[in-house]
Amino acid sequence: MKKIFILFFIIFSVDISSQECSEFFLVRHAEKDRSKAENNNPKLNQKGIERSLKWAEVFKNIELDKIYSTNYYRTIETVTPISKKLNLDITLYSPSKINYKNFISKNIGKKVLVVGHSNTIPDFVNNLINEKVYYQINDLNNSNLYIVTMCNGLVKHNLLHIE
């Protein structure tokens, strides 16, 4: 009986910190230049440049392992200050071609930043959490920060507004 108790104690006292927890941070690109409506790949405007620097401040103490961005000027410009500050490369992805199960398994135990668009980031979050909770972001809202944590089979998610 004593041996069974010791075995039981060892099995259930495994340090939780040894679990492979993943954290995903998702943001929409910063404010874009709207001066030419026909331009489908605009760069950031001045307010967007300022917001990209603010995002760099937000993430400066988070030890990110990976940064993903769509292949547009505004998304890449949004994460470039973070990429430079943390000395991380930016990996390009296509929202229409992503396999979410593969994405999750490829990033187990990592802290990952994903930047996208008003119509792709909420769907990305919904696919990570396997629930339809978030909806398309208002086109003038560039302040949402979605945080998804996966640890030991538990999935938690939050939405913050960073002005």
- Gap between the Cα atoms of 93 and 91, Å rounded: 7
Query: What average pLDDT does this structure show over 13-32?
Result: 79
Asked whether residue 3 is assigned to any structural domain, the reply reads no
Which residue in this structure is represented by tokens 């405007």? 45
Q: Is the pTM here over 0.75, yes or no?
A: yes
Residue 124 · residue 36 · CB < 8 Å: no
pLDDT for 14:
38
Confidence of residue 20 (pLDDT cuts 50, 70, 90): confident
Secondary structure string (H, E, C) spanning 50-119: HHHHHHHHHHCCCCCCEEEECCCHHHHHHHHHHHHHHCCCEEECCHHHCCHHHHHHHCCCCEEEEEECCC
Asked whether residue 88 is assigned to any structural domain, the reply reads yes
Q: What is the DSSP letter of 19?
A: S
Confidence of residue 5 (pLDDT cuts 50, 70, 90): very low
pLDDT for 97:
97
Query: What are the tens digits of pLDDT across the range 85-112?
Result: 999 999 999 999 999 999 999 999 999 9
Say yes or no to pLDDT of 141 above 50.
yes
- Quote the domain boundaries for residue 103: 19-161
Top pLDDT among 18 and 34 is at 34
Residue 58 · residue 38 · CB < 8 Å: no
HSE-up of 27 (CA within 13 Å, CB side)? 29
Asked whether residue 92 is assigned to any structural domain, the reply reads yes
Neighbour count for residue 84 (Cβ, 10 Å): 10
Cα–Cα distance list, 138 to 91, 124, 143 (Å): 26, 16, 10
Domain total for the chain? 1
Asked whether residue 14 is assigned to any structural domain, the reply reads no
Asked whether residue 139 is assigned to any structural domain, the reply reads yes
Query: What are the tens digits of pLDDT across the range 39-60?
Result: 999 999 999 999 999 999 999 9
Phi, psi of 99 (to 5 degrees): -100, 110
Asked whether residue 13 is assigned to any structural domain, the reply reads no
The enclosing domain of 92 has a CATH number of 3.40.50.1240
Asked whether residue 83 is assigned to any structural domain, the reply reads yes
Neighbour count for residue 55 (Cβ, 10 Å): 24
Asked whether residue 2 is assigned to any structural domain, the reply reads no
